[in-house]
Structure 1
Amino acid sequence: MAAMPALLSGFAPIWILTAIGYAAGRSGLLGAQAESVLGRFVFHVAMPAALFTMVSGSRPAAFAHPSMAAFAAGTALVTALGYAVGRRYFGRERAEAAVGGMASGYVNSANLGIPVAVHVLGDASFVAQVILFQVLLVSPVILTLLDSGTQGGGPAGGGLRRMLTMPVRNPVIMASLLGVAVSAVGLRLPAAVTHSCDVLGAAAVPTALITLGLSLHGGPADGTAGTDRAGADRAWAEGTGRVTGRVEVGVVVALKTLVQPLVAFAVAGPLLHLPDHQVLAVVLCSALPTAQNAYIYARQYGLDTGLARHSVVASTLVSMVTLSIAAWTLGPSR
């Protein structure tokens, strides 16, 4: 299959860097607080720099393209389903259900989507639109749910005040908004500033993957505070309790790797009648696995990281098959 080398080249950094993080965690090389420190570095420093660089040099008007409507439809439906299933069937509170929704519909568009798009589609222009869509529209919604779900409970005015001031308090949203402002006014920043942001932002993805690998080794920082290892193993085996069970991960991975691309195909093909190459782009991007951002967000907000962590790993493995099938059935050689 012609697309297989591209898929393997895209997946290789994910597995290698995650494995390095796991090995570092298992050996204790980086110390007991490595996962916590690196997670904060990604969320507060590297990721905002990467998002600012990306958004400030883009044109958000590209969202008006019909292809984006098809991708957005699949993302919105699956994210909402992931959130609703977590709330109704797995007893998740609002914030943890938001992580489930993100794990169900937020695609790994950067470090996996770009190489796959370049090799399979021939260019990464649609992936760039997907990245902006997730950064500017999906992330703020998820982060609002996380913020309100972890800080709520006060008076109504306080909750409204927190929501209105969240862009100022959240570095991811603030960096995105600053990027939009720079793009809108056509401001050209000094080369020293842009280069510094580029260098810093380049650390976001590899550090996030190292942090993800550290979390796979387990320990107190794995998001299961208050649950001993034996209890965690029992909860995993039973699929119940505060620790993520196989059933919940299976549902999230099915939504991510099967339902989302199928919805995108239905909208792009039978409904909007887009050209074949656009249908392929929409389905491929929708079939990408869960982004490690879901784990980073859960980690930052002090939530159970099990669902995000296992969804990233499992969906990445499953998507090697689903992406290959999509490229084979919808590609020009079919």
Structure 2
Amino acid sequence: MTGVENALGPLFLLILLGALLGWRRLPGGDFWPHLERLIYYLLFPAMLVATLANADVSRVPVGRVALALLGSMLCFAGLLWLLRKRLEMDAAAFTSVFQGALRFNTYVGVAGAAALHGSAGVTVAAVAVALMVPVVNVLCVAGFIAAGTLGPSSLTKSLAALARNPLILACVGGIVLNLSGIGLPGWSGQAVELLGRAALPLGLVAVGVALRPRALVRLDRGVWTANLVKLLLMPALALSLALLLGLDTVNRDVVLLFAALPTATSAYILARQLGGDAELMAALITGQTLLAMLTLPAWLTLAG
């Protein structure tokens, strides 16, 4: 096996473990929804704060990383809207395709960056999260609004939730602590770092639990469109931009990794709450996560 496969293999095993636990309904009850909330609201934000507060972000070419990642994301967001009529989908299905093509699984991304390049990879990944999470959330909420699936009351709730997004707040907090020179003083640094260490393994298992194998029977135009953009076209554009911009190996790999990630499991909840096609979203999440076990190593091996 290649170094890439050795690095990513354990991550995929944790996802498959989660799928097995979800299939067997272990531990049962509402354990997993509560754990997902704990990861999302506490453990993963702690990891982002711990990384950004003490990282030497000056070593990350933020402008070029942003151009490669956000440039490819905005390009395909615009392209999907231009092709909306030709895709011949109803509004609900289109919003799910839009989310499936743009959203990314942060747990897999940060864990993959750590496996490939250690602390240097995690630093670049945290910067990528800080850049991409606000933009992708604004784009997707705007997509629901433009498609007409979002009522006025839901719009207010969505904007309020965006302002309270724990990942956005964690990134802002970590950057402020870094730039102010305060960092995480005393025992707080070790405590927050210990919390953050639990985020990635538990997050990967939770990704597997959220998979819905029954949704794989859906193979319509929406599935093919979102998968083509997310797993092939976007990483191809991001890699091309990274090479043109002269990014070094670590930054190039993290840019490619985040561009090629499967869509986020949280997209299913948004599809249900904001008028999207939840069944299509479940098919995209499950299919992309499983396909990414092949496409992610392939892209990173090609880049290397």
Q: What interval of TM-score do these two structures reach, taking the shorter chain for normalisation?
A: 0.7 to 0.9
Q: Does 1:263 align with 2:237?
A: yes
Partner amino acid, structure 2, of 1:35: W
User: Which residue is equivalent to 1:40?
Assistant: 37
Say yes or no: does 1:296 pair with 2:237.
no
Alignment partners' CA distance in 1, 2:83 and 2:292: 18
Displacement, 1:212?
Answer: 2.0
* 2:198 aligned with 1:203: yes
Residues 18, 210 of structure 1: 8 Å contact kept: yes
1:254 aligns with 2:228: yes
Change (3 A) 1:8 1:67: same
Higher RCO, 1 vs 2 (CA within 8 Å, ≥6 residues apart): 2
The answer for unaligned runs of 5 or more in structure 1 is: 119-123, 219-228, 241-246, 328-334
What residue number does 1:25 align with?
22
CA apart distance, 1:19: 1.9
TM-score, structure 1 length as denominator? 0.69
| Stretch of structure 1 that moved more, 255-264 or 62-71 | 62-71
1:1-334 map, 5 Å:
4-58=1-55, 62-66=60-64, 68-78=66-76, 80-81=78-79, 89=87, 90-93=89-92, 96-103=96-103, 108-117=108-117, 125=120, 128-133=123-128, 135-145=129-139, 149=144, 152-154=150-152, 159=155, 163=159, 165-166=160-161, 168-216=163-211, 236-237=217-218, 239-240=219-220, 247-269=221-243, 271-272=244-245, 274=246, 278=248, 282=252, 285-287=255-257, 290-291=260-261, 294-299=264-269, 302=272, 304=278, 305-306=281-282, 307-327=284-304
Tell me how far apart the structure 2 counterparts of residues 16 and 126 of structure 1 sit (CA, whole Å): 21
Q: CA deviation at 1:132?
A: 0.8
Residues 297-322 of structure 1 deviation map (CA, whole Å, 9 limit, x = unaligned):
54477463412232122123222223
The separation in 2 between residues aligned to 1:49 and 1:83, in whole angstroms, is: 36
Please, which moves more after superposition, 169-178 or 67-76? 67-76
Provide the aligned C-alpha RMSD in A.
Answer: 3.8
Distance 1:215 1:83, change over 3 A: farther
Bigger radius of gyration among the two: 1
| 2-structure distance, mates of 1:138, 1:266 | 18
By percentage of residues, which structure has more helix? 2
Partner of 1:225: none
**C-alpha separation in 2, matches of 1:59 and 1:128:** 8
Q: How many pairs align?
A: 290
**Identity over aligned pairs, percent:** 19
Give yes or no for contact 1:264–1:283 (8 Å, CA) kept in 2. no
Distance change >3 Å, CA 126–CA 192, structure 1 → 2: closer
- Is the CA contact 1:43–1:296 (under 8 Å) kept in the aligned structure 2? no
Q: Which moved more, 1:289-298 or 1:303-312?
A: 289-298
Give the letter aligned to residue 256 of structure 2: S
Aligned CA distance change for structure 1 residues 287 and 87 (closer, same or farther; 3 Å): farther
> Could you tell me which amino acid in structure 1 is paired with residue 51 of structure 2?
M
